[in-house]
Structure formats: C-alpha cells, structure tokens
Amino acid sequence: MRSQPTTLLCRYGYDPLDRLTRHTLVNTLERQRFYCTSRLATEIQGATRYSIFQHGDQLLAQQQSEGNALDTTLLATDQQRSVLQVVKTNHPRQPIAYSPYGCRPGENGLLSLLGFNGERPDPVTGCYLLGNGYRAFNPVLMRFNSPDSWSPFGKGGLNSYTYCLGDPINLCDPQGHTAFALAIKTEHLPGYILRAIKNKAWAKLNTRAPRSQRLRDKAFRKLTESTKDEFVPKLKESALSEMRLKASGHITPFNPPETPGLSREKYNNHKAEGIPFDEFGIPNPKQAIITTNNHQEILRTDFFDDAIGHFHHQASRPAPQGYKSRMKKNAGSAYIERSEYIQRYASEYDQASRSSSLTTHEETKRVRE
C-alpha cells in the first residue's frame, strides 16, 4: 500500500528558550513573534506590524501599522483575558463568543490577534499553542494534542492530556503545564480575607510606625499591598492544589455549616476532640490530620470549614462592632491557615507520589533484568 504524499502547510521556528518565534505559511511571508517576558507583544509580517498593548494582565488594544498608516483596535476582555468584543474605526462592534473550552463558530472571525484566554490561535489548525509554543490545545476536542512532560506524577496531574483539570471556567493554563486558579485576584478578594491581610499589615506597621499620621497611612497602604503580594500567590497555589486533591478523592469539598447553631456545635466538637487551636480560636494543626475511606487517604479540613462558618455567623449576628470585626478577621485568618495547611499536605503528597513512582520503576527494571 503506497503512503499518501505529505503536504507542507506551515513551518515553525523556535528560539533557544523554546519559544515559538516565527511561522511561515506556504506562499506567504514569514511571521515573526516578539515577547515581553512571557506575553506576546509584537508580530511582524513583511511591512505589517501588530503590537499588543496591555497593563499587567489586562489587555487594552492592538495596533496595526504598515508604513505610516496606523490602525488601532480596542479590546474588551473578561477576567481570564479572553477577547469578548473589539471596537475599531469604521467597523461595527464585533462581539465574540466562546464555548467553555474556547471553541468559537467559524463565522465568528477575529479582528484581533488574540482570542480565548488572551492566547494567539494557530492560523493553520486553530489550536492554541500554549507556553509560547510548548503544547497545542485543541478547543474542539477540549484537550491537548500531546501529553504533558510534568504528568502523571508531577504538577501536570494524572491525566496528561486534560486542560485545566476539566474546569476551564475557573482555571487557566497559559504555560501548557499546569492550571492556575484565577478566581482569587487581589481586587476580588473576599472582605474577610482582606481584613485578615490588613490586620497582618497593621501588625508589621506597629513595629516601625512613623510618627506622622500621613506617613503612617502611606506606610500602611504600602504594607497592605506588599502583604497581598505575599499571600495572593499562596492562595492561588493552594486553590489549585485543593482542586487536584479533590479530583483524586484525597480531600472533601469546602463545606461550612449553613446555620449558626450547627456551626457553633461543630466548632465546639472539634475543640473537644483535641484538634489544635491557637489563642484566637483558629485551628492550628502542625501536621496533616488524615482519615481513611475505603482504604483511601483523605485530608481532613472539616474543622477549618466549621471554624470559618462559625466566625461568619458570629460576625453576622447583632453584636458590638468590635466583636464583629474580630470575627471577620478570624474568618480570614482561618481561611489563610486552611490554604497553607492544604498546600503543606499537597507538597508532601506530590513528593510521596514521585518517590513511589521511582520505586515502582526501579522494581520493574530489576524484574525485567
């Protein structure tokens, strides 16, 4: 049987950092890509140049220049940087719709280079080459076309082809390796977590407080932002770890009690059973507390969930303002402690999984020999 002749559709070129820097379609000029850190900033094809304007993670506009002619397109995006609408001179507004995994109708063309999650779709396949060309994500198949080198025992997860652990609404995977939780952003933190962060910043300020009230206020704002920068990445990493553990059945979902009476009862029961608490009444276990179900190891977080629910209900009932503020601060502190507790266990679990896989590999190798 004769093999079918192959047809060359596109050539791809990479730089020493394994970033996709050029691609050439048949009978067209080569396109070159330039990056600012890990983000696509400029694309050049012949005399035409496309530039992306952004502030932090927020996409703002795209500018196309050819000679002295400039054409600017404003971009409206969502929290995950997906381009939802473009505004361009002498063009009607173009709304853009995606499926949860980034698929869009063929007639729903793009006036911008970037599309789903702010990524550049491949001009030949329509896939998104995440990680600046590391892996191709297919929005039609809702999966990657190739396995992840960090799977199955690393942060890539057990399923080496899955995208965002099956949750593309709340997670994003710009590197093609592991998903990030985008629901936790500095400006969108729940009030009780912000209160706990501000309390930590205030404690730092009191150790070296300026005498001037104006300087104290300025120092407090600066410390609050630096404390956010310290805790927000930890909260994001913990949220991702929790989703991985939940997917493998090693943790129960976050489920605080719905009624004040039930939350108070469960909170007091945890104290009675010997769960460690600090002087503020916040759970403070130094080691992972494990239970088993059908021979499966499950990390206990119910005492954190019940404490957070108890503090919330206490802050909502009629009480002096100082007591309510203290309960809100305790709820935020308990949530941060819960995140750090989960992250510690997840790190130990990942390390144990890698050690187990290496041991199994060595045993298999000896058997084969």
* 188, 168: one domain: no
Tokens 């995006």 locate to 77
The two beta strands, 143-144 and 135-138, are antiparallel
pLDDT tens-digit map of 58-108 = 888 999 998 888 888 899 888 788 898 888 888 888 788 899 999 987 655
Greatest alpha-carbon pair distance for the chain in Å reads 87
Mean pLDDT in the chain? 79
Residue 369 included in any domain: no
The number of domains in the chain is 2
Q: What is d(CA 115, CA 77) in angstroms, rounded to the nearest whole number? A: 9
* 206, 338: one domain: yes
Half-sphere exposure in the Cβ direction for 297 (13 Å, CA): 10
Q: How far is CA 325 from CA 125, 200, 311, in A?
A: 55, 14, 10
Residue 368 included in any domain: no
* Greatest mean pLDDT among 132-136, 220-224, 330-334: 132-136
* 160, 17: one domain: yes
**Does residue 330 contact residue 280 with C-beta atoms inside 8 Å?**
yes
Residue 363 included in any domain: no
pLDDT at 13 over 90: yes
The whole domain housing 234 covers 184-355
* 120, 212: one domain: no
Weakest-pLDDT range from 12-16, 132-136, 246-250, 338-342? 246-250
Q: What is d(CA 182, CA 239) in angstroms, rounded to the nearest whole number? A: 9
pLDDT tens-digit map of 280-337 = 888 988 888 888 877 778 888 889 889 988 888 888 888 888 888 888 888 888 888 8
* 198, 155: one domain: no
Q: How far is CA 187 from CA 79, 225, 330, in A?
A: 11, 11, 20
* 218, 111: one domain: no
What string of H, E and C letters represents the secondary structure of the chain? Answer: CCCCCCCCCEEEEECCCCCEEEEEECCCCCEEEEEECCEEEEEEECCEEEEEEEECCEEEEEEEEECCEEEEEEEEECCCCCEEEEEECCCCCEECCCCCCCCCCCCCCCCCCCCHHHCCECCCCCCEEHHHHCEEEECCCCEECCCCCCCCCCCCCCCCCCCHHHCCCCEECCCCCCCEECCCCHHHCCHHHHHHHHHHHHHHHHHCCCCCHHHHHHHHHHHHHHHHHHHHHHHHHHHHHHHHHHHCCCECCCCCCCCHHHHHHHHHHHHHCCCCECCCCCECCCCCCEEEECCEEEECCHHHHHHHHHHHHHHHCCCCHHHHHHHHHHHHHHHHHHHHHHHHHHHHHHHHHHHHHHHHHHHHHHHHC
* 280, 348: one domain: yes
What's the pTM?
0.56
**Does 278 or 244 have the greater pLDDT score?**
278
**Does 32 or 286 have the greater pLDDT score?**
32
Residue 364 included in any domain: no
* 296, 322: one domain: yes
* 94, 242: one domain: no
How many residues appear in the chain?
369
Structure tokens at 25: 């379609």
**Does residue 19 contact residue 133 with C-beta atoms inside 8 Å?**
yes
**Does 39 or 6 have the greater pLDDT score?**
39
**Does residue 201 contact residue 220 with C-beta atoms inside 8 Å?**
yes
* 108, 217: one domain: no
Question: Final residue of a domain: which of 123, 146, 172?
Answer: 172
Instruction: With CA atoms as reference, report the closest residue to 145 among 154, 136, 156, 155.
Output: 136
Which amino acid does the sequence have at 260? P
Residue 1 included in any domain: no
pLDDT at 38 over 60: yes
> What is the model's pLDDT at position 357?
47
Weakest-pLDDT range from 74-78, 132-136, 210-214? 210-214
